[in-house]
Copies of this chain bind each other. A is one copy, B any other.
């Protein structure tokens, strides 16, 4: 290891006594290098532990074999997606680069465009946007959206059947005899959230139960933001006997709120969530929820993206995966 810093192609060239161009050829297995030179350079490379800089290479060649997964934050949902993409990437020759900004969760709308702009054109050959809010179809690299937060768009998407899932959840509660069912919504600007709320309304209506607006609160999909509204719901004069939370994180908050108020689940309150993130099984009692096949959504996203890059997938492709009831311990019949 001669130069203490990073070893560059120049160091290799100097040590081997050839030009950088020759080293580049060796690295990329190009023809036009004498066998003797080839092996000598190769030896120096191994010796120095040289590895070409992804950055410099990509700047020049505009091809990296790296797929970007852009997420707002590493939380239970996005990391499940990551697991799915990781499984699907094996053997494709691509590598994965998951990018996430710092804090400002929720606050920095438009993160997806920012990140895409920062990474695309050079670093990554294609991107998967996880739960993006705004999606411009115009980007210079192929892009796939997973669970986009707006309606149908120009780019391929993967999502799950939120509407049916929500109906499933409420029907389950109805079947158990519940009539006063609270709803902790997500965020009105998000498509999944709207569909889940619509499912709630639809299922109630089908059962002939009039909607009581006081039973609907904005939970915001996050642990902290849901705590307050959940507490309000539980402090209602006519407390709901069951709460359908728009995602597992807010369901977990609901259980915490209940515990804080001395209510036990499911004896005093039934709770059902949505997503089936692994964390949902960690609650006490384990959470009954609606599962989305999150990891599969991730792997399908990879399939779509690679297909898109190969030109074998139509940009108008939309994949919708089924949701299902996962009956654990947080609901009971009354």
Which residue numbers of A lie inside 8 Å of B, CB to CB? 1, 4-7, 49-56, 58-59, 73-76, 79-80, 82-83, 85-86, 89-105, 113-114, 117-123, 138, 140, 277-279, 281-282, 286
Contact = CB atoms under 8 A, between A and B. Distances in A.
A49 B140 CA distance: 13
Given A118-B54, A281-B281, A286-B281, A103 B91 contact: yes
A97 B98 contact: yes
Given A83-B79, A102-B89, A140-B5, A122 B278 contact: no
A102 B97 contact: no
A203 B6 CA distance: 46
B53 A118 contact: yes
8 contacts: A6-B120, A51-B113, A53-B117, A53-B122, A74-B82, A76-B278, A96-B101, A97-B97
Given A100-B95, A120-B6, A282-B278, A73 B59 contact: no
Contact of A95 (B51, B59, B102): B102
Contact of A100 (B7, B93, B96): B96
Given A79-B79, A95-B101, A99-B97, A73 B86 contact: yes
Contacts of A279: 278
Contact of A83 (B75, B89, B113): B75
Contact of A54 (B5, B74, B119): B119
A200 to B, nearest CB: 26
A50 B6 CA distance: 31
Nearest to A84: B74
Contacts of A140: 4-6
Given A73-B86, A74-B82, A82-B82, 17 more contacts: A5-B121, A5-B140, A6-B120, A6-B140, A51-B118, A54-B119, A54-B122, A55-B55, A74-B85, A79-B82, A93-B102, A95-B101, A97-B100, A98-B99, A278-B279, A278-B281, A281-B282
